[in-house]
Amino acid sequence: MKTLPGFRDFYPEDCARRNYILSTWREVARRHGFVEYDGPVLESIELYQKKSGGELVGQLFNFSDKGDRQVTLRPEMTPTLARMVAARARDFRKPLKWFCVPQFFRYEKPQRGRGREFYQFNADLIGEASDAADAELIALVIDVLKEFGFTAKDFVVRLSSRTAWQKFFAAAGGEAAREDDFFQIVDKIERMPPEKTGEALGALGVPELTADRVLAFLRGGEPGELAPVLENLQARGMGDYVEIDYAIVRGLAYYTGVVFEVFDRSKNERALAGGGRYDRLLALMSDGKVDLPALGFGMGDIVLENLIDDVPAARERRDAWMAQQRACDVYLVVAKAELRLDAVALAQSLRDAGLRVDFPLVDTKVGKQFQAAEQLGAEVAVVVGDEWPQVKVKTLATREEVTVANRGLADWWRTRQKGV
């Protein structure tokens, strides 16, 4: 019996590493005024067909349920978000600043950095067309990665604008109807031999649109309309984290304005996050019922975790968090069997006071009990023995020992924690 290919078991250590990522996402999102929402793990397949025109359907975990509904495990959040916002758009003050940390499912070939399930931090800002919203969203991406312990040496946000490309295309004489085809070419231009690019551009029927001109624009890197976004991020002290890069256009058809991708700065250039504006998607998804400008991004957990493993400062920060989450504040060493029920009562009173407490369930040699205390990462071992109703309290890291009344133990702990 094994896990399915591309799926993960989370043993306690793995689960703590996962929870570190999820809780860091949540904490930074809240600092930025984003509130959490979630949707169902299972959705009607139509929801995705509507948005993508079927792009993703080949990668879905889809099936027919026992009521003959065509359903699928969710591969992404935007359609769910659009459905939810469309249903209750009037109930919320604009702009909406919403985030979630869902698990997604895609039937792809598992490989390093990619499983068939993964968690993804999603944040969306809905109802504000100003570029101040773009800056506010990008600041969140940057701040989340900073919180993990990464610096401008570790990652970069590559910023681009579909609007800039649209203007370029229109100025060259391109028809709006062929825009998407043009974006597909730009998206692949750096991975394609120049003659192939030339051919593909030729098929658009716009004589002025040569590969050289497209590449010149791509490499020009003028801020243009991205200047206010850059200025805003600079005001936040985040200028070092951003670069203009017109090679970024994002593959999906629904992006409309600013788009961006975040890469790690090592030679691996792994993509950590991506997003942008999708001002027309809500109207499309709601058949025109709700028409709000919007933008958002996604950041997966798998590449992120690999990068944390690779960057010492990030690894140390995670290790410190995980040590804090240790299973145990106090381990009770039951040194006299006849005091067992007293020890149980003491354990409960400490738990009632909010402490993390463990103790041996059955009679065990005292040496083994101290071993258990160490292995569980307990901060202190409390010996319930000859001194009862007093107890000996041993700080495991320093070997310091004090004797206190068992009823005063919770107070002693609180005073000590304040002093630390």
Nearer to its own copies, 5 or 367 (CB): 5
Interface with its own copies (CB under 8 A), residue total: 92
Q: Which of 61, 321, 370, 388 binds its own copies (CB under 8 A)?
A: 61
420 binds its own copies (CB under 8 A): no
Q: Which of 53, 54, 55, 63 binds its own copies (CB under 8 A)?
A: 63
Nearest 10 degrees: CA dihedral of 302, 38, 63, 75?
A: -40
Q: Are 245 and 269 in contact (CB under 8 A)?
A: no
Three-class DSSP labels, 239-272: HHHEEECCCCCCCCCCCCCEEEEEEECCCCCCEE
322 binds its own copies (CB under 8 A): no
Site for its own copies in 19-48 (CB under 8 A): 19, 30-44, 46-47
The token pair at 309 is 């493993």
Which stretch, 134-142, 182-190, 265-273, 274-282, contacts its own copies (CB under 8 A)?
134-142
415 binds its own copies (CB under 8 A): no
The token pair at 353 is 């006071």
135 binds its own copies (CB under 8 A): yes
Site for its own copies in 71-110 (CB under 8 A): 71, 73, 80, 83-84, 86, 88, 93, 95, 97-98, 100, 103, 105, 107
Roughly what angle, to the nearest 10 degrees, separates helices 12-31 and 301-310?
100
Site for its own copies in 142-171 (CB under 8 A): 143
- The angle formed by the CA atoms of residues 277, 278 and 280, to the nearest 5 degrees, is 140
Least gap, CB of 265 to its own copies (angstroms): 22
With H, G, I as helix, E, B as strand and everything else as coil, classify residue 68.
coil
The token pair at 314 is 């990030």
Nearest CA-CA partner of 296 in 117, 133, 177, 64 = 133
Return the amino acid letter for 197.
T
43 Cα distance to chain centroid: 21
Nearer to its own copies, 212 or 374 (CB): 374
Least gap, CB of 61 to its own copies (angstroms): 6
Residue with tokens 């974006």: 183
Nearer to its own copies, 8 or 416 (CB): 8
Give me the phi and psi of 123, to 5 degrees please: -130, 135
Nearer to its own copies, 192 or 283 (CB): 283
Nearest CA-CA partner of 277 in 301, 252, 299 = 252
Cα R_g (the chain), whole angstroms: 28
Least gap, CB of 179 to its own copies (angstroms): 27
Nearer to its own copies, 86 or 211 (CB): 86
Least gap, CB of 325 to its own copies (angstroms): 8
Q: Which of 53, 54, 55, 65 binds its own copies (CB under 8 A)?
A: 65
Nearer to its own copies, 253 or 322 (CB): 322
The token pair at 197 is 């690019």
Give CA separation, 45 vs 54, 56, 172, 184, in Å: 10, 10, 39, 25
The token pair at 76 is 């992404």
* Pairing label, strands 271-277, 294-300: antiparallel
Least gap, CB of 248 to its own copies (angstroms): 23
Q: Which of 123, 124, 126, 128 binds its own copies (CB under 8 A)?
A: 128
Nearer to its own copies, 311 or 334 (CB): 334
Binding mask 227-266 for its own copies (x = CB under 8 A): ----xx--xxxx----------------------------
411 binds its own copies (CB under 8 A): no
Which stretch, 65-73, 172-180, 312-320, 394-402, contacts its own copies (CB under 8 A)?
65-73
200 binds its own copies (CB under 8 A): no
Residue with tokens 């809500």: 282
Q: Which of 171, 176, 177, 341 binds its own copies (CB under 8 A)?
A: 341
Least gap, CB of 154 to its own copies (angstroms): 18
Q: Which of 376, 401, 402, 407 binds its own copies (CB under 8 A)?
A: 376
12 binds its own copies (CB under 8 A): yes
d(CA 177, CA 195): 24
321 binds its own copies (CB under 8 A): no
d(CA 104, CA 61): 10
With H, G, I as helix, E, B as strand and everything else as coil, classify residue 390.
strand
